[in-house]
Structure 1
């Protein structure tokens, strides 16, 4: 008979509790080398998630091995996260190593980067390699969590370009599966030093037309780079193609925020036969409001007896808010008329919608609204009649 230690039975549960109690680890620091105009010039880019302090990055190993230019630190905030970026110009010396050493960044370490081989003017290398392009393109999707058809998200393209680039031209992202619109203005970050590349950032707002795994082809950059002999070389580059997964949308409208309100005009004092204008306003953020219609809002609940409603027009608008949020607003107008005086109760309105932030179905509700219709008094009828007769007499005269 085999005896089992009871502590071993508790071990899986203990490990599970440890895993659940451990917070999610952030991505490690990232480092990248970009070539400058001279074969000895490089631009070291270091990025770390979150907001960091300038003294967290220790660059002492670089000072002992390279000629280091002015270090630039910037905080980049996106709709989904923030990161800290350092730009460090490096100039290799005769005694410099062929590897950029790892640097301490708080409690973490940046990766070590080998210096790529570059062809120097007037020299021959034993194993010639292809010249490194001075253009670097990076594409990414700024979104966290699942995506559904119609839900807007940001596609961001970053370009590292020489400041003396001539005739620059950048096309648009290419994909038949998305509705693509330019978002905001371009952002240009000047080079950290002479002969080093600068950073150009451009954003687009995309909305998928249908679910599936769709390729998103990067825009192509074209330009001409001036040379020392007075000529210029044509350059062309494109970032990697991204594949964006779009999930099947639920039956309810998809949004990150949705509100529903109404207004009655006049709110009180309406009489029999006079129209009361009812305006329903729906405000949606992070969704596609074009899929909403008035019958889905009002539902099957009938109006009270002796009251009729007719459409009185509708209007809609959409605009971009801070950080690329798409805000959609739609209004429906109804003219309500009653054939008899009394107290009426307009039925409540309930609109189910899927909250992309919480991943749950929620409800936008308008409670039942009381509406009082006054009777037309004989004095008002008598007062109204002579007015018409007087008007006819004036016109006849």
Structure 2
């Protein structure tokens, strides 16, 4: 009974007692010896207890090493109720110089590690095929001009499995840099060893002349390497941090040459082309002509392409769209393209010459100015077919009808002429009587009443012309109600051609009044531009009516001035 109580007390004490641990051993090791100058190696420090991260002081390493990233891991093992804890630091170290360097002893909780004697060879003396990770870079040129696109390629060679990593962009001042395209993941055999290669391309444009220094791009990440334990009986993959950095590159940037004239553009090759409706040889007034001009430049950034200056002769109106810029790869070369599309609308018939378009550029290989040229083009514009056809149809119809009914029409017109003469005499008498009455009453003569009286006379004197105007105006109003700007422009030409008994271009109609000029401009923009622009069709109708009223008022005022007093 006593033995049972003692055994139970011992078990309770064993279960509820908290074991105390204390660090007793601190081991250090490196993943390679000898090492290479300025290249990172891994220093591993292991403590046989759970230790705080800040308890390790790494300041003694700063004398001879560049300290990179530090990772900390902890583990616990329980074997036969025996608990063991471990804290492990992995520190990236890059030797500052070649020779024999001593990794000093480090202290954690009063326990010191054993120093390590490290042999460091000069950079470049180690064969690259013995390295598991390295970076190589290349430049498209060693001498460039301000604004010239410089291609900077980076290749990361990996002979181990990549777990995670970051490839940083190079550092530089006085230039713009951006990544071109996506990363390319391939494999290459380098010096007889197969590597996984991650390739990235950057575009660099220098802003100022002088010497441009490019600090090499860097890599930082974790890779999987094969490890072993328990005397090599078992193997496993463990994560190991790695860093690498490419060497610096220096370029000479030349300024813009003094002998260059024009908008600055430096490229390997520049070309101009255009898309033109070749199937049409003659063009009509009012019909749009779509012209697309493309500017291509090899090894040039799209932001370096200035807008194309397109001269247009008098008699043609242009409605340009917003230029479109893009960059693409062709035959492993970077090509930038600017596309300018515009609609050309002839306003008068005749022959027009579109002047040649010239874009100057600088050839960095020949070191001289060249130019890309689009030759001049001559086009022939004929009068609008719509107004002419309508007029011919009206003339033929009138001739056919009047040939059969000429005697009756002569009688009608003679009667109307006599009625007009009688009304005109009557209006003169009314004006004279009105003038006498005004003189007797001492009031001044109101010219507006006289003009209105003559307008009434003319309305009754010309009923045929008024009916014709009303028909064409109603047709125009119907086109406006449909909301089709192209049809409205056509009906405008037909309407005014009918009123003036001759072919009327849009330019002729726009010259009749300011309101018509504004209305036709908005209709053309809405009809020929890809961007939909709303049109106030009521304003168009009012502009047409206003031009008629102005015409009648001018004619009436002349009659008033001719009236005898």
TM-score (ref. length: structure 2):
0.41
Q: Per the alignment, in what secondary structure is the counterpart of residue 317 of structure 2? A: strand
Q: Larger % of helix: which? A: 2
Partner of 2:377: 369
| CA distance in structure 1 between the partners assigned to 2:390 and 2:267 by the alignment | 51
> Which of 124, 137, 141 pairs up with 1:140?
137
Deviations 1:273-305 (A, max 9, x none): 2222222111111123423333x533xxx5333
- Of 322, 335, 341, the residue aligned with 2:349 is 341
Listed as ranges, the matches of 1:1-397 within 5 Å are 128-130=118-120, 134-144=131-141, 146-175=143-172, 177-183=175-181, 185-189=184-188, 198=195, 200-211=197-208, 212-221=210-219, 222-226=221-225, 227-229=227-229, 231-250=238-257, 252-265=264-277, 267-294=280-307, 297-298=309-310, 303-323=312-332, 325-377=333-385, 378-381=387-390, 389=475, 392=478
Q: Is the 8 A contact 1:139 1:155 kept in 2?
A: no
Instruction: Figure out how many residues of one structure are paired with residues of the other and give that number.
Output: 272
Q: Could you list the per-position Cα deviations for residues 3-49 of structure 1 after superposition, in whole angstroms to 9, with x for gaps in the alignment?
A: xxxxxxxxxxxxxxxxxxxxxxxxxxxxxxxxxx9999xxxxxxxxx
Provide the rounded CA distance (Å) in 2 between the counterparts of 1:160 and 1:278.
50
**By percentage of residues, which structure has more strand?**
1
Secondary structure, aligned partner of 2:313: coil
Q: Give 5+ residue unaligned stretches, structure 2.
A: 1-30, 35-98, 101-115, 230-235, 395-470, 483-565
Deviations 1:232-269 (A, max 9, x none): 43222212222233222455311111111223347433
SS of residue paired to 2:281: coil
CA apart distance, 1:345? 0.8
CA distance in 2, matches of 1:244, 1:183: 23
Gap regions ≥5 residues in structure 1: 1-36, 41-115, 118-125
Which string of whole-angstrom CA distances, capped at 9 and with x for unpartnered residues, describes residues 110-141 of structure 1? xxxxxx99xxxxxxxx9741498944534333
The 8 Å contact of residues 351 and 380 in structure 2, kept in 1 or not, is answered as yes
Mark the CA change 1:165 to 1:272 in structure 2 (over 3 Å): closer, same or farther. Answer: closer
More relative contact order, 1 or 2 (CA 8 Å, 6+ apart) = 1
Q: Secondary structure of 2:144's partner?
A: coil
Is the partner of 1:380 in helix, strand or coil? Answer: helix
Which protein is bigger by CA-based radius of gyration?
2
Taking a change above 3 Å as real, the CA distance of residues 235 and 340 of structure 1, as seen in their structure-2 partners, is closer
* Preserved CA contact (<8 Å) 1:136 1:237: yes
Structure 1 pair 163/343, CA: closer, same or farther in 2 (3 Å)? same
Moved more, 136-145 or 268-277: 136-145
Q: 1:364: how far off?
A: 1.0
Asked if the contact 1:169–1:223 (Cα under 8 Å) also holds between the matched residues in 2, the reply is no
CA distance in 1, matches of 2:212, 2:190: 35
User: Distance in 2 between the 1:134 and 1:213 partners?
Assistant: 32
Provide the TM-score with structure 1 as the length reference: 0.57
Q: Equivalents in 1 of 2:179, 2:313: separation in Å? A: 45
